[in-house]
A = this chain, B = another copy of it.
Amino acid sequence: MIGAMPAPLGAPVFNDPVIGILGGMGPAATADLLAKIAARTPVRRDQDHLRVVVWSNPKIPDRTLALQNRGPSPLPALIDGVARLQAMNVDMIAIACNTAHAFLDELQASDTTARFFNMISEAVRRTSQRYPEAERVGVLSTAGTRLAGLYAAECARLGLTAIELDDPHQARLVDTAIEGVKAARGFEQPASQIRQAVESLSDLGAEVVIAGCTEIPLVSYEASKVLPIVDATECLAEAIVDYASFDASPQPE
C-alpha cells in the first residue's frame, strides 16, 4: 500500500465493470432505468459514468400471462438475452422488469454463469432501511408479480407484511394503469389510477408503498402525495451504482 495515491477529494472512484441490462419489458421502463443509473452516478463528466450494455427485447413473451398459464413462458427469451449480454462480457446483469424476477431462479439454474442483481430484494431492503418504523408495506405490481408472491415472500423474509390489492382493485386500477403506460396512451389516466390504488393501500394500513413494476414510477408522482413511494427501479439503479463504486481509500498501485 506504500506509495498508493488516495483519490482526489470529491472525485468518484469506480471499479470499471460493464453492466448488462436485460430490458424491453417495456422499453420506456428500460430508458427510465438508464436515466436513473446516470442520475445516481456521481460524476463530473461523461467519462466518469458506467459502461452499460442493454439488450432491449420487447418481443419477450408477457410475463404475467405466462404466470397465469395464459401465454408462453418468457424463459427461453430471457435465457437468450442473458447469453447475448454475456457475449458482450458483462460483469453483472440487471433485469429491468419486476415480474421477470419470477423466473430468476430458473434463469440461474440454466447453464449460465451470469450473476444477477435482484430488484425485488433491493427494493424491500432499501424500503426497510429508509422507513425502519414501517411494518406494513404496500406493494403495487403486475398481477403476475402478485400471483408469484415475489414481494410478499421478500417482505416476510425481512419481517414485514406486504399489503396488496384484491383482484377487482388490481384489475381496475393497477393492471389498467400499467397497460396504459405500455401503450403510451398518455399518462394522466394511469397517474389517477395509481393514486387511487395507493389510497386503497393506505385504507388497508400500508405505511409506505413499493412501486414494484417498472412502468409505475413513470406515473406515481400524484400517488406520492398520499403515501411515501419507494421506486423499485431507483433501488435497482442504486444497487448498480453501489456495486460499481468502491470507497476512496488508498488503493494499491
Whether A59 pairs with B51 at a CB distance below 8 angstroms is yes
Shortest Cβ distance from residue A191 to the other chain B in the assembled complex, whole angstroms? 16
Residues of B within 8 A of A51 (CB): 24, 56-59
Residues of B within 8 A of A31 (CB): 31-32, 34-35, 38
Shortest Cβ distance from residue A193 to the other chain B in the assembled complex, whole angstroms? 18
With A39-B184, A56-B52 known to touch, is A47 a contact of B30 (CB < 8 Å)? no
Total copies of the chain: 2
Which of chain B's residues has its CB closest to A88's CB? B84
State the CA gap A70–B50 with chains docked (Å): 24
Which residues of A15-35 have CB atoms within 8 Å of chain B's CB atoms?
24-28, 30-32, 34-35
Query: A9 contacts the other chain (Cβ, under 8 Å)?
Result: no
Q: 1/0 contact trace for A170-200 toward B, CB 8 Å?
A: 0000000001001110000000000000000
Which residues of A52-91 have CB atoms within 8 Å of chain B's CB atoms?
52-62, 84, 87-88
Residues of B within 8 A of A43 (CB): 182-184
Most buried by B among A26, A46, A53, A59: A46
Which of chain B's residues has its CB closest to A30's CB? B34
Query: A37 contacts the other chain (Cβ, under 8 Å)?
Result: yes
State the CA gap A61–B58 with chains docked (Å): 32
Contact of A32 among B24, B26, B35, B88 (CB under 8 A): B35
Which of chain B's residues has its CB closest to A57's CB? B51
Query: A130 contacts the other chain (Cβ, under 8 Å)?
Result: no
With A26-B46, A34-B34 known to touch, is A53 a contact of B52 (CB < 8 Å)? no
Residues of B within 8 A of A50 (CB): 27, 58
Cβ contacts A to B, 25 pairs, < 8 Å: A24-B49, A26-B38, A27-B34, A27-B37, A27-B46, A27-B49, A27-B52, A30-B34, A31-B31, A31-B32, A32-B35, A34-B34, A35-B35, A43-B184, A45-B182, A46-B58, A47-B58, A47-B60, A48-B58, A49-B56, A49-B58, A53-B54, A53-B55, A54-B56, A87-B87
| 10 shortest interchain CB distances as A-B pairs | A49-B58, A54-B54, A31-B34, A31-B35, A27-B38, A52-B56, A26-B46, A28-B38, A46-B58, A27-B49
